[in-house]
Amino acid sequence: MTIAKGRALVTGGAGFLGSHLCERLLSDGYSVICVDNYYSSTKENIAHLLDNPRFEVIRHDVTFPLYIEVDEIYHLACPASPIHYQRDPVQTTKTAVHGSINMLGLAKRTGAKILLTSTSEIYGDPLVHPQTEDYWGNVNPIGPRACYDEGKRAAETLFFDYHRQHNLKIKVVRLFNTYGPRMHPNDGRVVSNFVVSALTGKPITIYGEGRQTRSFCYVDDLINGLIAMMNSADEVTGPINLGNPGEFTIAELAAEVIKQTGVNPGIEYLPLPPDDPTRRQPDITRAKQTLGWEPTIELESGLAKTIEYFRGVLTN
């Protein structure tokens, strides 16, 4: 039997990452409060946790204040895939900014430690490669991705100002592309799109020529990084990059999906969306040195687990 630990709040707890984090915190002995408004998440993601007496769910939008008692706050809430965050861009900025102000206010009142899942998007279309945390980024402030990029940049600013001004214990991590079971099949993300296309026999949609790169981190590795960051010494504020440095072109990813699914439905080339970053790869030296963290799951094996998950979802 696990010994009861503190009370952890996970905002966005019914999302792809949030649900894995809730599951992990429960198995580590925490009492977990999951807050979500289901804008880009589903109740199915957390259905298997509802019987646990240490798990509680609140339907709540973080752009409104929240008054509860907690010891640790994992602030994940925000639509994160381009199609979701661009659907209602004003709401995306509000979620990033007002949501952070409200959760920082909660941390201030309760004395809780608070972790922000920021993003590699704050580097924009990076002029430095791989991206280190001291790179300030190359973001178009008025483009279609700005609601998310600038929203998260403002959230980082708020976290560091609350830290300097009010002494809050903050932890800021910048997440690079993450994939795995419970990604939304219609999320629009490249991994889910390619796998779902192959499994349903529809052409794989490559935007542009597929020469742009991303570095894909399997969800279990990422969750280990979030836990390591929350449990790091109080002086460790970040920002710290969390991601897998293995860099692939989108065309290479398509080839791997075709190989592993054993289905080649053909490729359809579509226009590259505006401001789509050309290259992205995390420098994780800081995470290794400060947290002793690095990913262990290669794309090949992570993709195999993801394909297995989507096979299950699509046949049920």
Shortest gap between Cβ of 7 and ligand UDP (angstroms)? 32
Largest CA-CA distance found in the chain, in angstroms, rounded: 56
Determine the Cα–Cα distance for residues 151 and 87; give it in Å rounded to an integer.
15
Minimum separation from the CB atom of position 287 to ligand UDP (A) = 19
Q: Minimum distance from CB of 85 to ligand UDP (Å)?
A: 9
| Residue closer to ligand UDP (CB basis): 16 or 162 | 16
Q: Is 148 a catalytic residue?
A: yes
**Catalytic residue selected from 39, 148, 162, 179:** 148
Phi and psi for 166 in degrees, rounded to 5? -120, 5
Instruction: Please identify which residue in 207, 246, 247, 275 interacts with ligand UDP, judged by CB under 6 A.
Output: 207
Options 31-39, 151-159, 207-215, 298-306: segment touching ligand UDP (CB under 6 A):
207-215
Nearest distance from residue 58's CB to ligand UDP, in Å? 28
Q: Does 118 bind ligand UDP (CB under 6 A)?
A: no
Q: Checking DSSP bridges between strand 170-175 and strand 113-119, what pairing results, if any? A: parallel
Our finding on whether 100 is near ligand UDP (CB under 6 A) is no
Smallest separation (angstroms) from ligand UDP to the CB of 160: 24
d(CA 73, CA 25): 12
In 3D, which of 183, 64, 163, 69 has the Cα closest to residue 116? Answer: 163
Among 95, 177, 261, 306, binds ligand UDP (CB under 6 A): 177
Is residue 273 at the binding interface for ligand UDP, with CB under 6 A as the rule? yes
Phi-psi region of 111 (alpha: psi -120 to 50; beta: other; left: phi over 0): left
Closer by beta carbon to ligand UDP, 105 or else 188: 188
- Count other C-beta atoms under 10 Å from residue 135's C-beta: 17
The nearest distance, CB 84 to ligand UDP, in angstroms, is 10
Residue ranges in 209-228 that form contacts with ligand UDP under rule CB under 6 A: 212, 214
Q: Which of 189, 232, 236, 238 binds ligand UDP (CB under 6 A)?
A: 189
The correct pick among 37, 40, 41, 81 for binding ligand UDP (CB under 6 A) is 81
14 binds ligand UDP (CB under 6 A): no
Place of tokens 């929350």: 230
The site for ligand UDP (CB under 6 A) is made up of 81-82, 177, 188-190, 193, 205-207, 212, 214, 250, 272-273, 276
Catalytic residue numbers read 148
